[in-house]
Amino acid sequence: MAIASLSEIPAGAGELSVWPASTTRLPHGDMAVGGVSLAEIADRFDTPAYVLDEGEVRERCRTYRAALPEADVLYAAKAFLCRAMVRWVEEEGLGLDVCSAGELELAVTAGFPPERIVLHGNAKAPRDIGAALRLGVGRIVVDGPSEIARIAAAVGPQGRQRVMVRVVPGVSAGGHEKIRTGTEGQKFGLSPADGSAQDAVARILGQPRLELTGLHCHIGSQITEVEPYLVALRTMVGLMALVRDAHGVVLPELDMGGGHGIAYRPGESALDLTALARGLRTELGESCAAAGLPVPRLVIEPGRAVAGPAGVALYRVLAVKRTGRKVFVAVDGGMSDNPRPVLYGVRYAPRLVGRHSAAAARTATVVGRHCEAGDVLAADVELPGDVHPGDLLAVPVAGAYQLSMASGYNMVGRPPVIAVHEGTSRLLVRRETLEDLRSRDVAG
């Protein structure tokens, strides 16, 4: 089933609207994703575990390519990355946006063309810059003035590196204050308002070993409205015109970042990709015409909107506790494999799978196994009243910023990732074991 836009299945489709499009109900209360039973995956691979629908990932890549055929679409690796994900993204014609030498090296060793990779980050270590230059990364996004000389010096006398400048367009957007990155006074980028962006442009143009290809911005994450992108775009085109007027240089690329919002629960809003593509295309044409500029090559960087809806997290219930008026359902995972609820107040819609329940629904809070009061995976959700230890809970929209942000808290080990596609399942990332944890502890 193809997705028409990132608004997912229409709200009228009900409780499965935020699940992968391949999701089907099976007898006895089970569900299948990618043609594979979730209960069977839990039995085979144990829990907690992440299930990733390859078909959903690929279809979302194709949807972006179809919506913006004139643009470069870069998958934001920080959402989730493994070798299989690298291959899927490359085969579907997307580029890659990475934030570290680790992400970059994994991608290149998995066969991804380095010239289609962009490296950014507000504090690049020498290892990051060295890996980017050694592997031949396509672009490095300059985030601060000190990086300019460092990159130029590392290039060497015979080299030349393409770079962009990350700009703060003064736009506040995003689902939480901790993921709003387009405003003044935070750690990312350089501002046109105080002249630091213009100064960086001038310094780069004065470096013969650096080639300035364009400007970059990223205004935030989990954005569900088009207008903030258009406001930011106008600011960016205005700065491109200033660069042209001051230096006689017409920049050929404009990277508008990502942050495209998705629905985590039925009925929630999501960014409409069709409307975004139409708005960006129109605004870019009109703004460039008004400024007397040719239309630059547009670049966007979706991550969550590609991987998020393709993932399902599986947990086994360990305990059910009634405390006063509250019911707590404790599972075998928690903030070590998904810190987003405690970081950003994210809300999910877990579901009982693997058996049918005729019990009336009751309000419960799904909590993790860790020694933190904030270790809550889903607060005040409806679950069958007879949920008990041993039951299997599935949480949709679990493909982005969960395993990629996982920790070693309490040494429980990070879960595996299992790919499903056309009725088959295979292990992509194995479970972190106690032996893995012990092997890093080298001093007796």
Residues labelled catalytic: 371
CA distance 221 to 34: 28
Binding residues for pyridoxal 5'-phosphate: 259, 301-304, 401
DSSP per residue, 352-399: EESS---SPEEEEEEE-SSS-TT-EEEEEEEEETT--TT-EEEEES-S
CA distance 405 to 336: 8
- What is the bridge-based pairing of β-strands 210-216 and 161-166? parallel
DSSP per residue, 167-194: B------SSSGGGB-SSTTSSSSB-TTT
Structure tokens at 238: 């205005």
Binding residues for substrate: 304, 340, 344, 372, 401
CA distance 122 to 147: 10
CB 376 within 8 A of CB 53: no
Q: Is the dihedral of CA 440, 442, 443, 444 positive or negative?
A: positive
Amino acid at 330: A
Phi, psi of 137 (to 5 degrees): -60, 145
Q: Is the dihedral of CA 232, 234, 239, 243 positive or negative?
A: positive
**HSE-up of residue 288 (Cα within 13 Å, Cβ side):** 17
CA distance 399 to 74: 17
CA distance 262 to 308: 8
CA angle (180, 186, 188) in 5-degree steps = 85
CA distance 418 to 426: 6
Binding residues: 259, 301-304, 340, 344, 372, 401
Amino acid at 234: R
Amino acid at 192: P
CB 199 within 8 A of CB 145: yes
DSSP per residue, 101-152: HHHHHHHHHTT--GGGEEE--SS--HHHHHHHHHHT-SEEEE-SHHHHHHHH
